[in-house]
Amino acid sequence: MRFWAREKSSMSSSRKVVELFYDVVSPYSWLAFEVLCRYRNVWNIELKFKPAYLAGVMHGSGNRPPGMVPNKFHYMTTDLKRLSNYFGVHLSPPSNAFEAMFEKGTLNAMRFVTAVAEKEKEGDMLVERVSRELWKRIWSTDQDITQPASLTEAGLKAGLSANEVEEILTLSKSQPIKDKLKSVTEEALEHKCFGFPCTVCYVNGKTEVFFGSDRFELMAYCIGEKWVGPQPANPTAKM
Amino acid sequence: MRFWAREKSSMSSSRKVVELFYDVVSPYSWLAFEVLCRYRNVWNIELKFKPAYLAGVMHGSGNRPPGMVPNKFHYMTTDLKRLSNYFGVHLSPPSNAFEAMFEKGTLNAMRFVTAVAEKEKEGDMLVERVSRELWKRIWSTDQDITQPASLTEAGLKAGLSANEVEEILTLSKSQPIKDKLKSVTEEALEHKCFGFPCTVCYVNGKTEVFFGSDRFELMAYCIGEKWVGPQPANPTAKM
């Protein structure tokens, strides 16, 4: 028994910690999120979700949204369509992307996710499911994610009970949750982040920061794991 | 004999044309350039070099250099170091990157490359070599690429004779070459380019445009070829 316990603990300590800073306003973050969820059982990593507020990171770093340059906006639209197919994530931009991203925004949604994380003491299954439901709404089915009714619907679909959703909605408006979202956003800025997704890997006493959903091959190389494309169950490298 | 001739011609017509728009001011363009040079004999593609002027593309698209955001500049430095190892391209930023990129610039250098392309009627071996020598100077050995003496040195190292270099230097200052560089830059803008490298693939009557040196896996997927990492002679996918 003791042998097995030691084995387990030594395995666990050798696992590389990988933190994903994200906001559901960001479609590239959704791609990174799904890829890391798929690889958490393929690579020897401990994946930690870091729901944060992208507008705060953009403001804090002095960065501008890429979509502000017309040619870049046009490219992103094409790029996301191709990546959606290749990554196997059903991305479909909202009919009014500007309104959804910059006018309506995700402050309520990310406070809601932060409250889910706070309530979920063990594991992160609910954070994962709630985040995915929110991404589906904004980046797949063109639905609102700002209103309590919208957040309720996402919460229920993610497997929360009506009571739990109610409790989380109330909690999401509390000062401690607002502060928590702020502090995770500041943590991202401490890693010199300038946009999302931002993936922070802790490996051999070093911190490796990766921006975007296009550095997984490099990430694998840096953390000593193997990249076989965005769908490891169906490796593209063997095509 | 006729059978073989037909075979050859049908093979040649099935090759996908891949154009690389680049400027030696851009280190990510160097990575893309080396990768495409390595893959031109691995993938069924006809690679065409499109030396252009990045400052013109940035101006024409209203984009800003990413290095203007301090966190982004910090990230790029780390990212380039990691990519340099992974891509097997000896990248080392100039001691004064800002001066080299934005004050000294690459107008003379890119006119020089354009003149080499104009002189080289058959093939593009010299354009390839001269571009590489210029990238080495600015992005590896921290040497000037604005002065005639610098361009001469690069030209000689690339295999041009002293007479040829002299001729190309004179040609590079002529109006037709200035106009040619402008027109290739405008061609990039017509593809809705907003930065370099910009790779344009013509496949099955469709045009697929890729920005950056981080879309090769997606590019391979789109053109029906196989990506095995940035060094196909030593495939990382099989690590």
Which DSSP category does A66 fall into?
G
Q: Does domain B16-238 have CATH number 3.40.50.300?
A: no
Residue of chain B minimizing CA distance to A221: B86
Rounded to the nearest angstrom, the minimum Cα separation between B69 and chain A is: 6
pLDDT at A8 over 50: no
Tell if the CB–CB gap between B71 and A194 is shorter than 8 Å.
yes
Is A192 close to B63, i.e. CB distance below 8 A? no
Interface test with A, best of B77, B87, B217, B231 (most A CBs within 10 A): B217
- Find the mean pLDDT for residues A58-70: 87
- Predicted confidence band of residue A65 (pLDDT cuts 50, 70, 90): confident
DSSP-based three-state secondary structure for B206: strand
The three-state secondary structure class of A119 is helix
pLDDT reported for residue A122: 84
**Which residue does chain A place closest to B87, by CA atoms?**
A218
Minimal CA–CA distance to A100: which of A60, A135, A127?
Answer: A135
Mean pLDDT along residues B1-18: 56
CA–CA gap between residue B98 and residue A101 (Å, rounded): 33
Taking CB atoms and an 8 Å limit, are A193 and B71 in contact across chains?
Answer: yes
Note the pLDDT of residue A236.
66
- So what's the pLDDT on residue A71? 93
Lowest-pLDDT choice from A56-65, B27-36, B178-187: A56-65
CA-based nearest distance A28→chain B, Å: 14
Alpha carbon of B191: minimum distance to chain A alpha carbons (Å): 9
Instruction: Report helix angle B125-139 to B27-39, nearest 10.
Output: 140
Residue A78's pLDDT is what? 94
Q: Considering CB atoms only, which of A211, A215, A237 is closest to B237?
A: A237
Give backbone dihedrals phi and psi of A215, rounded to 5 degrees, phi first: -125, 20
Position B239 pLDDT exceeds 50:
no
User: Mean pLDDT over residues B175-196, rounded?
Assistant: 98
C-alpha dihedral (B31, B37, B40, B45), degrees to nearest 10: 60
CATH architecture assignment, domain A15-238: 3-Layer(aba) Sandwich (3.40)
pLDDT tens digits for range A101-144 = 888 999 999 999 999 999 998 889 999 999 999 999 999 999 99
Mutation pick from A91, A221, A226 vs chain B, by most beta carbons of B within 10 Å, is: A221
Q: Does B160 touch chain A (CB under 8 A)?
A: no
Distance CA A124, CA A155 (A): 14
B152 with B144: CB under 8 angstroms?
no
Per-residue pLDDT at A7: 40
Q: Tell me, yes or no, if B61 comes closer than 8 A to chain A by beta carbon.
A: yes
Confidence of residue B98 (pLDDT cuts 50, 70, 90): confident
Residue with tokens 């037709």: B176
Tens-digit pLDDT profile for residues B26-54? 999 999 999 999 999 999 999 999 999 99
In 3D space, the residue among A29, A36, A142 whose CA is nearest the CA of residue A80 turns out to be A29
Measure Cα distances from A136 to A94, A131, A145, A216, B22 in Å: 10, 9, 10, 23, 37
Q: What whole-number distance in Å separates Cα of residue A1 and Cα of residue A71? A: 62
Measured CA to CA, the distance from residue A31 to residue A96 in angstroms comes to 20
In sequence order, the 6+-apart residues with CB closer than 8 A to the CB of A86 are A230, A236, B218, B221
The Cα A58–Cα B202 span in angstroms is 36
Grade residue B102 by pLDDT with cuts at 50, 70 and 90. confident
The Cα-based distances of B53 to A84, B8, B101, B194, B198 in angstroms read: 32, 36, 12, 12, 12
- Calculate Rg over the CA atoms of chain A: 18
What's the pLDDT score for residue A1? 34
Q: Using CA atoms, how far apart are residues A230 and B178, in angstroms rounded to an integer?
A: 44
- Whether residues A214 and B215 touch (CB distance < 8 A) is answered with yes
Q: E-assigned strands of A65-171?
A: none
Tell me how close the Cα of B16 comes to any Cα of chain A, in angstroms.
18
* Predicted local distance difference test score (pLDDT) of residue B125: 96
Residues in B touching A64 (Cβ below 8 Å)? 64
- Average pLDDT for chain B: 92
Catalytic pick from B9, B12, B14, B26?
B26
